[in-house]
Amino acid sequence: MNEKVENPVEGGDKRIDRLKITKVSSGKKEEIEDVVVAEAPLTILLNKEKVITLLCTPQDQECLAAGFLFSEGLIQNKKDIEKINFDRKKNQINVLTKSKRQFPSKFPPSKTLTSGCAKGVTFSNTEEMDPSKDLLIDLQTTLSSSEIQNLIHEFEKKSVLFRKTGGVHAAALANKEKILIYFEDIGRHNAVDKIFGKCLLDRISCEDKLLLLSGRISSDILAKASKSGISI
């Protein structure tokens, strides 16, 4: 049975949209309406200076902006943030910091294309990074195989948007017993940044937690986790 989904234009789920498609199955062609994941640009500014424009699922953008700036080392904690202004008409988020730091005052203007499906970008100096040394963190907790299986089962149950569209990645922050924070996004890097942005804005420590992912774990994902203090 097909699950009914509200049209976002009519005030429903802004993460999805409906499109007319041509479905071909067993040599037969038919015109149907399909549910697809929505995609929108988000421009992140630091003290009114543009840092980057990301393509993302249009939900929890404040968490994404804070998490991206944290992952890139442009902010360290919530104390750095004075105010976050979200212009929804322009799809722009301006993060104002107490230090009034201007991008790229700390970092060179060069950037690295990551292995993300949407050609993710990092301003970190990946040429000098040694994953075998720079990304290692002492374990803060351990898990049994049954605890891991229980968390993965809960993780899969939460993947509602993926079941509707088949077009998103997911990331979750958990302790040994349950999932604490969960996000889905068209980009796995975005989903991870939303996790860390949520933790930063709500002052949630990651050091005794673990990160669950639906996608491949690349070195830049490991770098994000390392900066947050997550060891698993």
Catalytic residue ranges: 117
Which of 152, 228, 216 has its CA nearest to residue 189? Answer: 216
CA distance 168 to 176: 25
Phi, psi angle pair for 147, to nearest 5°: -65, -40
CA distance 158 to 217: 20
CA distance 204 to 35: 34
CA distance 204 to 219: 24
The burial of 190, by beta-carbon neighbours within 10 Å (0-12 exposed, 13-18 middle, 19 or more buried), is given as buried
Q: How many CB atoms lie within 10 A of CB 63?
A: 22
Please say whether the beta carbons of 224 and 71 come within 8 A. Answer: yes
